[in-house]
Chains A and B, each alone.
Chain A
């Protein structure tokens, strides 16, 4: 089945610094999803990317899907302590009936 890798595994940043996590696959993906899990919480859906080269923004978060649809990135501008958590990329099919397979995640710590 489809698998994705994420780098880095951990990232510690000073508050106000930028942060980027990368998600890579050896195969072409139908789509890519991103989730955030706060410490002690459950994963929360952030976004889904479908099109080659797609870029979407949510306030300080920028999501990109590679031209070959084999990689994706999540960039956070000027991190805040509220950004602390683990960010997962995930792959799924085209419908809500399809299972979602999660990458290993990147754990972000923000030093105030």
Chain B
């Protein structure tokens, strides 16, 4: 299994500002994944973060808006930049361990 923590658990931010979300895993992993879950919706993959290289972004997501860092094999950050109310979502990080995908508890972001 994998134990994943995220900080902050929730935040209320003003439009135009940025928020950095941290994800910490209890053991080393090659890939970390960042998802967004808008209210009442499914999970949408934002990007895949591989340690030592630039993150790979899914269609509709760009590095300028969602810069990701992956400084080591147990940690990653996702920044939501220049926020607007449409960015209000839950942001989750996840890792794969064998066939299973484990998720952090999520960061609930509200942009006013």
Contacts and interface: CB of A to CB of B under 8 A. Distances in A.
Interface of A: 31, 33, 35, 41-45, 48, 88, 90, 92, 95-105
Q: What band does the interface of chain B fall in when counting residues whose beta carbon is under 8 Å from A? A: 20 to 34
Q: Is chain A's interface secondary structure helix, strand, loop, or mixed overall?
A: loop
Given A42-B103, A43-B103, A45-B100, A99 B43 contact: no
Nearest to B56: A99
Contacts of A103: 42
Contact of B45 (A95, A100, A104): A100
B102 A45 contact: yes
Interface stretch (B20-28, B76-84, B90-98): B90-98
B72 to A, nearest CB: 17
Contact of B101 (A41, A45, A104): A45
Contacts of A88: 42-43
B84 to A, nearest CB: 24
